Chains A and B, each alone.
Chain A
Amino acid sequence: MKKINKTAFLLLAISLIVGLTSCVQDKSQKGALAGSTAEKVFVAPGEYDDYYAFLSGGFSGQLAVHGLPSGRLFKVIPVFSVDGEKAYGFNEETKPMLETSYGSIPWDDSHHPDLSQTNGEIDGRWCFINANNTPRIARISLKTFETVEIIEIPNSAGNHSSSFVTENTEYVVAGTRFSIPVPQKDMSIDEYKGNFKGALSFIKVDPDDGIMSIEFQILMPGFNYDLSHPGRGKSHGWMFFSTYNTEEANSLLEVNASQNDKDFIAAINWKKAEEYIKAGKFKTVPTKYAHNVYDESTHSATSTMEKTVRILDPAALPGLVYFMPTPKSPHGCDVDPTGEYIVGSGKLAAALTVHSFSKMIKAIEEKNFDGEAYGIPILSFDATLAGTVQQPGLGPLHTEFDGKGNAYTTFFISSEIVKWKLGTWEVLDRKPTYYSVGHLMIPGGNSRKPFGKYVLAMNKITKDRYISTGPEVCQSAQLYDISGDKMELLLDFPTIGEPHYAAGCPTELIHPYTQKIYKLEDNKHPYVTKSEHEAKVVRDGNNVHIYMTMIRSHFAPDNIEGVQTGDRVYFHVTNLEQDYDVPHGISIIGAKTSELLIMPGQTETFVWEPKNIGVWPFYCTDFCSALHQEMQGYVRVSPKGSDVPLKWSLDGEDL
């Protein structure tokens, strides 16, 4: 009995061990834990996500960087809005970034990020995003994850069909949602029809440094230009825009812009546009728009006001634009990875319309037109139609592709993602979203080479998905695994602002190339202090310039006297550290820029206007070392006209 007992225990032990080890080793095979959804999104502590996801911050005006599959939020990159956390828009260096022809605009509404491409593939260099309200396009460096350029778009209003990138980043394209008088003038709104115009802007991107310039605008009829996507592969050189309100209604659009059975997808031949530009067939018109550039060597932005723009008139320039009739107020306008199919999601249509690029070219060659609109040929609907996806759902909005011949379309009203097959147009799968999905994103979705492992749904309604935060609940995204035949919901995660579109790519395209520090020797900031010996305080009338350094864990100088009430005191602070992840911060009591966050080797400036006499402390605002709490100093403020001399020191010694 005893013997049997012992043997039984041993056997049990062995089987347990075998079971355990096989579990651990067979992770890749279908073991007991392989079916776990949690495991598919779990990124162990210290490990990295497989994909970057750049989500628009919607009405926050920013851009959020998440990891997939974990959904973790890494950084909110300030773009079109001030950000106290990073002093963006508050420090002297970044204030010019928010300048526009309307003055400084402290926040905006950001919608559609897109990543730069080379040969139709994501190259990990820049991310672009549009400001919808006061039309602008921003360029974000994916080396520093900072906004490095913002260009305003003149003659545009509701910059919505933006910012989509052509396959060699030749252009970032920005289209107006609202048509307006161009140039603006005081006129009756009732005279909208035939008089208002919609500008589609092609912004050239310098292939070396990324600097943007508006190459030309195409002045289109007064429709609403909703979304756009570039042609690729065979359709490279074309850009497609969805339109609605071809009725040209100027009031109660929800009824009056839904009258026509079909609106259009506008196909723009931008290679043709380049020929017309070369041939001088443009009009240079006066306008005003800001162009703001952040110089990575001076760590400072400058804002320049541009004065003219080149305009192309499609009615006078044959071959530049064609209209493809598309049912019922199309919203999304998405091009598949081969460049052959252009999907128009008629918001109010029962079927999805897919146009064929080759059929479009044929129809153009054969002049298979069905009339014209304001001098622009309308192609016959049947001539460009590749197929329709029948009864896919209610309220189609956007489509992305997995690179394996499948398309994924969001349906706002029926709150689902529907997977269907390109070419056969059959519906393969559908999965609900929680709730009312808007855009969706497959990493590499707007390119020749999507990475079809996940799709990210960005929802318009969150309701009961999370613990409540009162009437205003969090914004939300959902991640689906699309590697199998059927989609599988893996994860809900909250996002900032309202996430409209997103862009994503594999981690290895960006992560290894990111910048770690700013090299001190490359720092060309006009007020840089490269060593403590160079630290000083200079008075220039009422302006006092403090050239200050910081290193673990002291400021130099840290005692300053001779400042007077009524002075404008500029703290130009250089972080002397040259090691990764050792930022310092600074703040002084009463300063309106309440905090700077300065990366190693970087210089930043804030202005302090002391109102009262006294001795006022400043301190490091970013926990930097064990003696962070010791990182502090004092400024003595004397009455205006006082004879206290300007003096600065560290540890009782002049610097």
Chain B
Amino acid sequence: MKIMKKRAVLSIAVMTLLTTFLILSCSGEKKEEAKANTATQNASTEKKEVNPMDNKGIGPIKNVTLGEIDPGRAAKGKEIFQAKCSACHKETKKYIGPAPQGVLTRRSPEWIMNMILNPEEMVKNDDIAKKLFEEFMYVPMANQSLTEDEARSVLEYFRTL
């Protein structure tokens, strides 16, 4: 009797497992999502000390080559910065957000541009951005809908600070 019960429990367990498996495999999208989640979890649990300059951030910008400072582009960048960013960033002092002065010694150019262009994902999934989000009292970095070219000009302006 006892054995019977045990076996029944076992079979039910198998059944439940199988059903669960099948339901999971039915909804393909969910599985992908789950996979993506574990991937990011793995990424964040691998807490190796990395050089922040090697972190390119998450977003459309994969590679930026910096040449001589282009004064025309920097001037344009200043204009954009004044219009779209200065409500929260002051060039030389910590304000609602951090000061951009010297940011190129702390962060890679790709990271800076991705932070401008893709702040929502950055504060969620990028380790440095996540820490900054915490430090700046969870005021989200606003996505000011800059184009890549505009973000590149802002970066050029930062190089002159």
Which A residues contact B (CB, under 8 angstroms)? 2, 5-6, 9-10, 12-13, 16-17, 20-21, 24-25, 517, 519-521, 530-533, 549, 551-554, 556, 576-579, 582, 625-627
Cβ A531 vs Cβ B15 within 8 A: no
Chain A residues with CB below 8 A from B14, complex form: 10, 13
Q: Are B82 and A533 in contact (CB under 8 A)?
A: yes
Residues of A within 8 A of B27 (CB): 24
19 pairs from A and B in contact (CB 8 Å cutoff): A5-B4, A6-B7, A9-B11, A9-B12, A10-B14, A13-B11, A13-B18, A13-B19, A16-B19, A20-B19, A20-B22, A20-B23, A24-B26, A520-B83, A531-B86, A532-B87, A552-B139, A577-B142, A578-B143
Contact A521 B83 (CB under 8 A): yes
Check B139–A625 contact: CB distance below 8 A.
yes
Distance in angstroms between the alpha carbons of A16 and B19 in the assembled complex: 8
> Is there an interface contact between A549 and B87, defined as CB atoms closer than 8 Å?
yes
In the complex, the answer to whether A24 meets B142 with C-beta atoms within 8 Å is no
Q: Which residue of B lies closest to A627 (CB)?
A: B139
Task: Give the size of the chain B interface in residues (CB under 8 angstroms).
Answer: 30
Chain B proximity of A46: nearest CB distance (Å): 11
If A13-B14, A16-B15 touch, does A531 touch B22 (CB 8 Å cutoff)? Answer: no
Produce 1/0 per residue, B137-150, CB < 8 A to A: 11110111110000
Contact B4 A2 (CB under 8 A): yes
Query: How close is A494's CB to chain B, nearest CB, in angstroms?
Result: 33
Residues on B with beta carbons closer than 8 Å to the beta carbon of A554? 87, 96
Q: Closest chain A residue to B21 by CB distance?
A: A17
Chain A neighbourhood of B96, CB < 8 A: 554
Task: List the 7 shortest-distance A-B pairs measured between CB atoms, nearest first.
Answer: A9-B11, A13-B15, A579-B143, A578-B144, A578-B145, A551-B87, A626-B138
Q: Could you tell me which residues of chain B, from 108 to 137, have a CB within 8 Å of some CB in chain A?
A: 137
Whether B145 pairs with A579 at a CB distance below 8 angstroms is yes
Q: Which of B82, B83, B87 has the most CB of A within 10 A?
A: B87
Given known contacts A16-B15, A531-B82, what 19 new A-B pairs fall within 8 Å (CB)?
A2-B7, A13-B19, A17-B22, A20-B19, A20-B23, A519-B145, A521-B83, A530-B83, A531-B86, A532-B86, A549-B87, A551-B142, A553-B139, A554-B87, A576-B87, A578-B146, A579-B142, A625-B138, A625-B139
Q: Mark B78-101, 1 if CB is under 8 A from A, else 0.
A: 000011101110000000100000
Is B39 interfacial (CB-CB < 8 Å)?
no
Which residues does chain A contribute within 8 Å of B87, judged by CB atoms?
531-532, 549, 551, 554, 556, 576
Q: How far is the CB of A479 from chain B (nearest CB, A)?
A: 28
| Residue B69 lies at the interface, judged by CB distance under 8 Å to chain A | no
Give the docked Cα–Cα distance between A12 and B11 (Å). Answer: 10
Q: Which residues of B contact A625 (CB under 8 A)?
A: 138-140
* Docked complex Cα distance between A442 and B98 (Å): 55
Least distance between B117 CB and chain A CB atoms (Å): 12
Interface presence of B8 (CB below 8 A): yes
Which B residues lie within 8 Å of A16 (CB)? 15, 19
Docked-complex contact B23 and A551, CB < 8 angstroms? no
Per the bound structure, the CA–CA distance linking A198 and B136 in Å amounts to: 67
Q: Which residue of B lies closest to A600 (CB)?
A: B145
Q: Which B residues are CB-close (under 8 A) to A5?
A: 4, 7-8
> Which B residues are CB-close (under 8 A) to A533?
82, 86
Cα separation A521 to B76 with both chains bound (whole Å): 14
Question: How far is it, in angstroms, between the C-alpha of A25 and the C-alpha of B96 when the chains are bound?
Answer: 51
B residues near A577, Cβ cutoff 8 Å: 142, 144
- Residues A10 and B137 in contact in the complex (CB < 8 Å), given A520-B84, A578-B144: no
Are A9 and B145 within 8 A (Cβ)?
Answer: no
B138 / chain A contacts, CB cutoff of 8 Å = 625-627
**B26 with A25: CB separation less than 8 A:** yes
Select one of B11, B12, B88 contacting A551, CB under 8 A: B88
Distance in Å: Cβ of A33 to nearest Cβ of chain B: 14
Q: How far is the CB of A11 from chain B (nearest CB, A)?
A: 11
Query: How many angstroms from the CA of A13 to the CA of B20 in the assembled complex?
Result: 12
Q: Quick check: B26 and A21 within 8 Å, CB to CB?
A: yes
How long is the Cα–Cα vector from A521 to B15 in the complex, in angstroms? 62
- Cα separation A401 to B136 with both chains bound (whole Å): 59
**Chain A residue with Cβ nearest B27:** A24
Asked if A517 contacts B145 (CB within 8 A), the reply is: yes
Most buried by B among A13, A519, A626: A13
Nearest CB in chain B: distance from A522 CB, A? 12
Chain A residues positioned under 8 Å from B7 (CB to CB): 2, 5-6
CA distance A13 to B143 in the complex (A): 51
Complex CA gap A578/B85 in Å reads: 10
> Once bound together, how far apart are the Cα atoms of A579 and B144, in whole Å?
6
Could you tell me if B83 and A531 are in contact, using CB atoms closer than 8 angstroms? yes
> Residue on A with the closest CB to B141?
A552
Q: Is the Cβ of B142 less than 8 Å from the Cβ of A17?
A: no
Task: Give the Cβ gap from A12 to chain B, nearest Cβ, in Å.
Answer: 7
Is A9 in contact with B142, judged by CB distance below 8 angstroms?
Answer: no
* Assembled-state Cα–Cα distance A9/B7 (Å): 10
Within the complex, what minimum Cβ distance (angstroms) separates B71 from chain A?
Answer: 22
Q: A531-B87, A556-B87 are in contact. Are A626 and B139 (CB under 8 A)?
A: yes
B19 to chain A, nearest CB (A): 6
Q: Report B-chain residues with C-beta under 8 Å of the C-beta of A551.
A: 87-88, 142
Min Cβ gap A185→B in Å is 58
When the two chains form the complex, which single residue of B22, B88, B137, B143 contacts A21, counting CB atoms closer than 8 Å? Answer: B22
Return chain A residues, CB-CB under 8 Å to B82.
531, 533
Which B residues touch A520, using CB under 8 A? 83-84
> Given the complex, which residues of B lie within 8 Å of A549, measured CB to CB?
87
- Residues from chain A with Cβ under 8 Å of B18 in the complex: 13, 17
**Residues on A with beta carbons closer than 8 Å to the beta carbon of B11:** 6, 9-10, 13
Q: Which residues of B contact A519 (CB under 8 A)?
A: 145
B143 CB, min distance to chain A CBs, angstroms: 4
